[in-house]
Amino acid sequence: MAQSVWGYDSDNGPERWHENYPLAKGDKQSPIEINSKDVQHDSSLPTWHASYDPGAAKTILNNGRTCRVVFDDTFDRSVLRGGPLTGAYRLRQLHLHWGSSDDHGSEHVIDGVKYAAEMGYAEILSILWNMMKKIQYLCFALQVGKTPKPEMKRILEEIDNIKTKGKEAPFQHFDPSILFPKSRDYWTYHGSFTTPPCEECITWILLREPIEVSSDQMAKLRSLSKNGENEPVNPLVDNWRPPQPVKGRIVRASFK
């Protein structure tokens, strides 16, 4: 497996990442399974707050591994504060992981439950921009249900413009906070990127409440191809990493 070529297939997938990215076998890897019986309630955890500028949204792209929305993070126009964080974290991008069917696709597993997809917001501590990485991921699950969140339409409407790997389209005037679930309850733990090189520099904020999507919306995501424009269509599905060993880490909850 060439170092620059990793993916989610049998020949280059999560089970083989450690061959070129040794950190993938580290002690603080993500995602994990959250087990309620092992979680510690922490009454000192404050509420988190997002202040996002819709004008910071730039593009949406298909990189062959996910669908990603990219934001301008050159100054503090879209930031997340509070929760387990110290300082203002600038929103850099959001992306999704999803399965080949509605019964799996999320990276984090909650009390044995796998959801259809997971959305992650990647944000970096602005004062450390040119120094050591200090990054947080805010994420939540997507659950197939009867009352899909209408705000998801904005992203899904652009899917036809990024059908194949390498396709990118303008994606402006978008406030990603409209996708958040109503509840601000969350779990938090220290972990890693869920993609190579799997660096262990992430503070995770995993929202307790999923948002709802429809089966049709999930089918739209699955219509993306992991291949380029002039190659055979190869559905972009099952782009998720299985849960990793917790290895003694403490998962804290902002709620009882």
* Mean pLDDT, residues 150-164: 95
Say whether pLDDT at 7 is over 90: yes
Tell me what pLDDT residue 48 has: 98
Tell me what pLDDT residue 133 has: 63
Say whether pLDDT at 4 is over 90: no
- The answer to the question of residue 7 being in a domain is no
- The answer to the question of residue 196 being in a domain is yes
3-state class (DSSP) for residue 167: coil
Distance of alpha carbon 192 from alpha carbon 135, whole angstroms? 9
Tell me what pLDDT residue 105 has: 98
**Residue 179 CB contacts under 8 Å (≥ 6 apart), including other chains:** 119, 149, 151, 152, 211
Considering only residues 22 and 133, tell me which one the structure prediction assigns the higher pLDDT.
Answer: 22
* Mean pLDDT, residues 138-164: 95
- The answer to the question of residue 190 being in a domain is yes
Q: Which domain holds residue 194?
A: 14-253
CB atoms within 10 A of CB 126: 16
Tell me what pLDDT residue 193 has: 97
Confidence of residue 169 (pLDDT cuts 50, 70, 90): very high
- The answer to the question of residue 9 being in a domain is no
Number of domains in the chain: 1
Percent of the residues in the chain that have a pLDDT greater than 90, as a whole number: 93
- The answer to the question of residue 121 being in a domain is yes
pLDDT, tens digit (0-9, with 9 covering 90-100), for 188-215: 999 999 999 999 999 999 999 999 999 9
Residue 55, judged by CB atoms within 10 A of its CB (0-12, 13-18, 19+), counts as: middle
pLDDT, tens digit (0-9, with 9 covering 90-100), for 213-227: 999 999 999 999 999
Q: Which of 45-59, 118-132, 221-235 has the lowest mean pLDDT?
A: 118-132
Q: Which two tokens mark 233?
A: 């269509």
135: CATH: 3.10.200.10
- The answer to the question of residue 25 being in a domain is yes
